[in-house]
Amino acid sequence: MKSIKIFVAVSALTLVSFGSFAQSVTATDLTLDGAEAQIAAQAQQQGAQYKITEASNGNVVHMTAELYK
């Protein structure tokens, strides 16, 4: 009986994670502001919010973000 309860709990948590929306997006620009503007535009287009997860610069800025609703 205990294993059935655990199976049901794991199944329910799996369904919750599949119902969530998360998408990784990237942008490249010459400035941090330009890269973030591209991320913001992608988020707005999909009706989502964003959280920047990585940004690096050399000759250009490369930025990665997670979109979520």
Q: What is the largest CA-CA distance in the chain?
A: 60
Whether 58 is covered by a domain: the verdict is: yes
The tokens for 65 are 């973000």
pTM across the whole model: 0.70
* pLDDT score of 21 more than 90: no
How many domains does the chain divide into?
A: 1
Whether 8 is covered by a domain: the verdict is: no
Tell me the residue range of the domain where 34 lies: 21-68
Q: How far apart are CA 65 and CA 32, in angstroms?
A: 13
Look at residue 2 and give its three-state secondary structure: helix
Whether 5 is covered by a domain: the verdict is: no
Whether 10 is covered by a domain: the verdict is: no
Give the mean model confidence (pLDDT) for residues 14-34. 79
Whether 32 is covered by a domain: the verdict is: yes
Give the mean model confidence (pLDDT) for residues 28-40. 97
